[in-house]
Amino acid sequence: MSESRQEVLSAHFFVESALTQLIERAARATGLFDESFSADIRPADPRFGDFQANGVLPFAKRNKQNPRALAETLASKLQSEPTLDGLAVISVAGPGFINFSLTPRFLLSWLKNFASETSFQSSAKHFLEGKRISIDYSSPNTAKQMHVGHLRSMIIGESIQRILRFCGASVHRDNHIGDWGTQFGILLFAIKKNQVDLATLQEPLEELEKLYKEGYALTKTSEEALNGARSELVKLQQGDAENLHLWQQINAVSYRAFDEIYAEMDIAFDNVWGESFYRDKVDRVYNELHECGVSEESDGAQVVFHRDVEQFKDQPFLIRKSDGASNYASTDLATVLFKVLECGFGEIVYVTDGRQQDHFQQLFLTVKKWFAKKHYPMPELHHVWFGTILGEDGKAIKTRSGDPIRLKELIREAIARAYSIVEEKNPDLAESDKQHIAKAVGLGALRYADLVQNRTNDYVFAWDKLLSFDGNTAPYLLYAVARIHAIFRKAQLPLFDLDNSASAFETPEELALAKKLVAFPFALKQAIDELRPHFICHYLFELSSLFSSFYNANRVLVDETDVKARRFLLCSRTLATLETGLHLLGIKTLHLM
Ligand code: ARG
């Protein structure tokens, strides 16, 4: 096989990029196009084909040539290219668009080539190979329990890290726990005031939350309490032994509670670099920003103004408080420096709610100015923000008493509700199977309901909707997976090792399903380009709808060996794609439901 042919075949996984390569190469070979030509491949109007190359028009315009004639020449060059053989049929349309349709033969060979989660991954890895990305997600604050507000960062962050890794990036999962913030001033003040012995508390986190609430209320009404809390925080930050000891006790209790939730949700981190991890790294930030003139002094505090940005003209970025204490911004600046200079990450992704947009914009602006002055390598920084989970009344979701819903309880309820559904649908299953299915369905439903939303939208949390077996939900997709497993079990056929006699697809349902399968890399690409997992959810839902249409209209277990083989091939690849996609969302799939 010639080198170029091999290159094109391996690139076939992502048809858009294979076509782009072929077209641009053919264009140059005609001698009529130069380097400035780009194919600009887009999905086509389905009446005319699968893809359309739109690049001829702007090129012709720039060079004052006839676009239609150029397109005709390029199309006939492409038709004579041996590498395009079987990839697509071509036609020229309108003023100079080139349409491509994938041939049944191409579809068949693609589906034979890309067979399983492993083979998808070994091709998808070319998307982000060589990138080193640190992703900061979950990142709750200690001394508090995790509540429903912490769900999205965990679920979205976990899915994004899986997708990035699958697409070849080297991913570092970091939990930037808030273990050094103002909450400790208040908490330490309240603990001392009430002479609480942390070691003897029955429900330490609950007690700490109460203490914090009381302390917080006090600081709002009493100047003395406010100053007390401030000085406890400064003492802690300066290394006071008693405060450090209390702080460690508080964190230990918190970490235990977080870890239970992570274990349940199957989430793990490479590092838990909380805010305190950077406490000896903030001085360098203050000094450098001051030295290079990026920061200034304002009422005794150190701030960075971005007067060049309308929105922040009168809103400085506070990086050190007037009492000398560090804050959220100081730590985040130190974090970027550490991750870029010490760890060599080229990209950092932050997953938090939308209310932190100002903070991250100011952080990124500050880094840009500072790193440019110091000639440090400039990282790519992304704030992956998300909307709020609403109750059925359309307001931020709360318990009846008005408190935030604890994550622990939400997870328990998801599994319990899924269990009753399993019990009702399948009372004869063994108890251990019921529990296993209930966990996968309950947690899967919780995750999917969140991920299926475009993350920047708010969404209404409704148990009935997310646990429904109809519609774009986890139970529906998990059921589709289990159903295909059952088809293979019943036919007593292996999942992947299919016989080779498959003939090219013929029926409209076969063709539609095959084309959808070939579009999986496009869904991956959209998800990584925008860091939005919902592209994968929508793809999976459409795929499983097309599978249903195919399965209802085309008998799979037929006598003709070639027809049977190609239909089982479609079943097998649909299964592999659904499972891969769900795993990328952090959802465990089932063989039996
Ligand atoms: N602890 C913060 C919170 O609960 C989130 C931290 C996000 N990460 C960061 N590097 N700022 O809102």
Is residue 104 packed enough to be buried (19+ CB in 10 Å), middle (13-18) or exposed (0-12)?
A: middle
pLDDT at 267: 97
The dihedral formed by the CA atoms of 134, 381, 305 and 229, expressed in degrees to the nearest 10 = -30
Q: 439-584 has which CATH code?
A: 1.10.730.10
Q: Which two tokens stand for residue 87?
A: 């990839």
pLDDT (0 to 100) of residue 138: 97
Q: What is the pLDDT of residue 47?
A: 85
pLDDT at 3: 42
How many angstroms is it from 136 CA to the middle of ligand 1?
Answer: 8
Q: Whose CA is nearest to atom 4 of ligand 1?
A: 140
- Ligand 1, residue 178: give the atom nearest the CA: 1
What's the whole-number mean pLDDT along residues 159-181? Answer: 96
Please state, in angstroms and rounded to a whole number, the distance separating the CA atoms of residues 256 and 490: 46
Question: Are 294 and 366 in contact, with CB atoms under 8 Å apart?
Answer: yes
For ligand 1, mutation pick of 137, 152, 176 (most atoms within 8 Å of CB): 176
Q: Which atom of ligand 1 is nearest to the CA of 150?
A: 4
Does ligand 1 have an atom closer than 6 angstroms to the CB of 350?
Answer: yes
150 Cβ closer than 6 Å to some ligand 1 atom: no
Average pLDDT over residues 9-25: 84
Does any ligand 1 atom lie closer than 6 A to the CB of residue 181? no
Would you state the pLDDT for residue 87?
Answer: 84
What are 380's strand-pairing partners?
A: 347
Band (pLDDT 50/70/90 cuts) for residue 9 is: very low
By percentage, how much of the chain surpasses pLDDT 70? 98
188 pLDDT above the threshold of 80: yes
**Among protein residues, the one whose CA lies closest to atom 3 of ligand 1:** 140
CA 140–ligand 1 middle distance (angstroms): 7
With 70 as the cut, is the pLDDT of residue 10 above it? Answer: no
CA of 525 from ligand 1 middle (Å) equals 27
Confidence check: pLDDT of 24 > 60: yes
Nearest ligand 1 atom to alpha carbon 360: 11
* Cα(226) to centroid(ligand 1), Å: 24
Sequence letter at residue 481 = V
Is the CB of 140 within 6 Å of ligand 1? yes
Q: For the CA atoms of 258, 263, 266, 271, what is the dihedral angle to 10 degrees?
A: 50
With a 6 A CB cut-off, is 274 part of the ligand 1 pocket?
no
Weakest-pLDDT range from 130-144, 295-309, 395-409: 395-409
Per-residue pLDDT for 5 more than 50? no
Ligand 1 center to 531 CA (angstroms):
18
- Beta strands 132-136 and 347-353: pairing type? parallel
The domain spans of the chain are 5-102, 132-386, 439-584
Find out whether the beta carbon of 332 lies less than 6 Å from any atom of ligand 1: yes
Q: Does ligand 1 lie within 6 Å of residue 176's CB atom?
A: yes
pLDDT level of residue 54 (50, 70, 90 thresholds): very high
For the domain made up of 5-102, the CATH class stated in words is alpha beta
Atom in ligand 1 nearest the alpha carbon of residue 352: 7
Domain 132-386 = CATH 1.10.3090.10: no
Q: Are 353 and 388 in contact (CB under 8 A)?
A: yes
Q: What confidence score (pLDDT) does residue 77 get?
A: 94
Q: Please give the number of the atom of ligand 1 that sits closest to the Cα of 332.
A: 10
Nearest Cα residue to 196 out of 142, 244, 204: 204
Residue 127 carries which side chain, given as an amino acid letter? F
CA of 129: how far to CAs of 122, 222, 269, 518, in Å? 11, 56, 21, 21
Residues present in the chain in total = 593
Q: Is 385 in the pocket of ligand 1 (CB under 6 A)?
A: no
CA of 503 to the centre of ligand 1 (A): 55
pLDDT > 90 fraction of the chain, expressed in percent and rounded: 86
At residue 399, the pLDDT reads 81
Average pLDDT of the segment spanning 513-519: 97
Q: Which of 474, 566, 556, 483 is nearest to 517 (CA)?
A: 566
Average pLDDT, stretch 372-399? 94
Q: How far is the CA of 364 from the centre of ligand 1 (A)?
A: 15
Chain centroid to Cα 514, Å, comes to 26
Q: How far is the CA of 178 from the centre of ligand 1 (A)?
A: 6
Q: Residue holding tokens 């981190």?
A: 269
Q: Whose CA is nearest to atom 8 of ligand 1?
A: 176
Read off φ and ψ for residue 562, nearest 5 degrees: -70, -40
Give distance in angstroms: CA of 51 to centre of ligand 1. Answer: 42
Where residue 382 falls among pLDDT bands split at 50, 70, 90?
very high
Decide: 179 in ligand 1 pocket, CB within 6 A.
no
Query: Using CA of residue 19, residue 25, residue 29, residue 33, what is the dihedral sign?
Result: positive
Distance 326 CA to ligand 1 centre (A): 15
State the closest ligand 1 atom to the C-alpha of 356, by its place in the atom list counted from 1: 12
2 falls in which pLDDT band (50, 70, 90)? very low
pLDDT digits (tens, 9 = 90+) for 535-565: 999 999 999 999 999 999 999 999 999 999 9
According to DSSP, residue 341 is labeled I
pLDDT at 403: 82
Mind listing the pLDDT tens digit for each residue in 57-87? 999 999 999 999 999 999 999 998 877 778 8
In 69-150 the beta strands, taken as DSSP E runs, fall at 89-93, 97-101, 132-136
DSSP 8-state assignment for residue 339: I
To test the pocket of ligand 1, the residue of 271, 339, 352, 361 to mutate (highest count of ligand atoms within 8 Å of its CB) is: 352
Q: Output the residue whose Cα is nearest ligand 1's atom 5.
A: 139
Calculate how far, in angstroms, residue 352's C-alpha sits from the geometric centre of ligand 1.
Answer: 7
**Sign of torsion, CA 503 504 510 516?**
positive
> Residues 239-266: pLDDT tens digits?
999 999 999 999 999 999 999 999 999 9
Q: What is the mean pLDDT of the chain?
A: 94
pLDDT, average across residues 289-308 = 97
Mean pLDDT computed over 106-131: 94
Instruction: For residues 152-175, give the mean pLDDT.
Output: 98
